[in-house]
Amino acid sequence: MSDAELVVRSTRVITPEGTRAAAVAVAGGKITAVLPYDAQVPSGARFEDFGDDVLLPGLVDTHVHVNDPGRTHWEGFWTATRAAAAGGITTLIDMPLNSLPPTTTVDNLRTKQQVAAEKAHMDVGFWGGALPDNVKDLRPLHDAGVFGFKAFLSPSGVDEFPHLDQDQLALSLAEIAGFDGLLIVHAEDPHHLEAAPQQGGPKYADFLASRPRDAEDTAIAGLIAQAKRLNARVHVLHLSSSDALPLIAAAKAEGVRITVETCPHYLTLTAEEVPDGASEFKCCPPIRESANQDLLWQALADGTIDCVVTDHSPSTADLKTDDFATAWGGISGLQLSLAAVWTEARKRGHDLADVVRWMSSSTAELAGLAQKGAIEAGRDADFAVLAPDETFTVDPAALQHRNRVTAYAGKTLSGVVKSTWLRGERIVLDGEFTDPKGQLLTRTP
Ligand SMILES: [Zn+2]
């Protein structure tokens, strides 16, 4: 403690051993000790007392589409990382698509890293992309530090990122398994999508029918079979269909190396409440019925679903037309993810330690970020300070992401982020930001 440069304390610190009153000592951007609440602060150390506000590890969001460079008018590193920081996130991992170039070669990764380095308000890492024609690029990307590879099993929404058919999936996964990498998958089966009624238009019920659960269930079953055959590590992105949960639970029980995420919008919004024409609610797979949502919560509670990430995937407002078939699919949730999940979690009897496990510890573990995701000695001093009982009404004008379209407009949420800290430096206080202090992250070899 004597070398501490900063001591922060709260009556409620969420640690891996439980929530308790504690003082956290920080030096060189790292947590050096978690001490009793009334530990003496060394002279010369800065001291912050958060009172009864909760001190939690900064969230690690492993599913963000930043779109920079190339579609920076949709979202960029400057705006995305400010929105994330305002929401208590301190680490994000960027998806390989919707930027131009996509992160599918080492050269493209370097371009992305250069752009991010100057604008990132928090630590930023990258997923690579697995395309039909870039199998030879996968190992070099792995060696260059991407955290894993994203693949689509159905059309991605952008031409430059084509999806894999089953043979191509087998080839890519075999290559990735060869260096024990991780494949993260948008799992909807294209044949089931094609067979579904494609009505188009403004009715949400028609859109929901066009992306049926069995498209997800079939794709996930196929992925499990491949993972098992190759003993490969796979991760199911943005699970929406609760019908796939028994398959996943059985695969996990059998030792298949599979993890699963879901998103705040599947956990807090329901198909029943989406107004017709409101394409700010459009994402793929879609937000489903409230009975489906109940089962997703149950799966989080029992560990079938491992983590919760935003899948923040914005576009310009003009692409959010009132025709669900052609409107851009993606929900902008970065700044609101913690409050949205916490608001629903507490109603369902969960505590903040559960939310931290889903949104910080498990995601850090997914990416192999041993320095993130917990308040304990040796980890980075990344914190969010949360007033869990304070409420606010979502005003799109108060959001930091570039295009202030949100499915949460007008909702009253619990949990106000008072400040966010990155490696011992406060990066947001009451909506005021410091200059960007983020670092580029690469996979730990
Ligand atoms: Zn996504």
How many A from CA of 48 to the centre of ligand 1?
Answer: 37
CA of 186 to the centre of ligand 1 (A): 8
Going residue by residue through the chain, which has 445 residues, state the pLDDT in tens, using 9 for 90 and above: 568 999 999 999 999 999 999 999 999 999 999 999 999 999 999 999 999 999 999 999 999 999 989 889 888 999 999 999 999 999 999 999 999 999 999 999 999 999 999 999 999 999 999 999 999 999 999 999 999 999 999 999 899 999 999 999 999 999 999 999 999 999 999 999 999 999 899 999 999 999 999 999 999 999 999 999 999 999 999 999 999 999 999 999 999 999 999 999 999 999 999 999 999 999 999 999 999 999 999 999 999 999 999 999 888 888 888 898 888 888 988 999 999 999 999 999 999 999 999 999 999 999 999 999 999 999 999 999 999 999 999 998 888 888 888 999 999 999 999 999 999 999 998 889 999 999 999 999 8
3-state secondary structure of 80: helix
Q: What is the pLDDT of residue 400?
A: 86
State the distance from the centre of ligand 1 to the C-alpha of 42, rounded, in angstroms: 45
> Ligand 1 centre from 98 Cα, in Å?
10
Tell me, in angstroms, the distance from the centre of ligand 1 to residue 288's CA.
17
Alpha helices in 38-152 (DSSP H): 77-86, 106-119, 135-144
- E strands, 218-289, are 233-236, 258-262
Contact (CB, 8 A) for 85 and 390: no
Q: Where are the alpha helices (DSSP H) in 87-189?
A: 106-119, 135-144, 166-178
Tokens of 200: 């188009």
Which phi and psi angles does 135 have, rounded to 5°? -55, -35
Q: What is the pTM of this model?
A: 0.97
Ligand 1 centroid vs 314 CA: distance in angstroms?
A: 10
The Å distance, Cα 184 to ligand 1 centre, comes to 10
Q: Are 182 and 233 in contact (CB under 8 A)?
A: yes
The H or E element that residue 49 is part of is: strand 46-49
Q: For residue 63, report the distance from its CA to the centre of ligand 1, in Å.
A: 6
Q: How far, in Å, CA of 347 to CA of 379, rounded?
A: 31
Half-sphere exposure of 256 (CA within 13 A, CB side): 26
Peptide bond into 101 cis (omega under 30): yes
Q: For residue 95, how far is the Cα from the chain centroid?
A: 10
For residue 13, report the distance from its CA to the centre of ligand 1, in Å.
31
H-helix or E-strand spanning residue 218: helix 213-230
Cα-to-centroid distance, 17 and ligand 1 (Å): 32
Go through the domains of the chain in sequence order and give each one's CATH number. Answer: 1-52 (2.30.40.10), 58-367 (3.20.20.140)
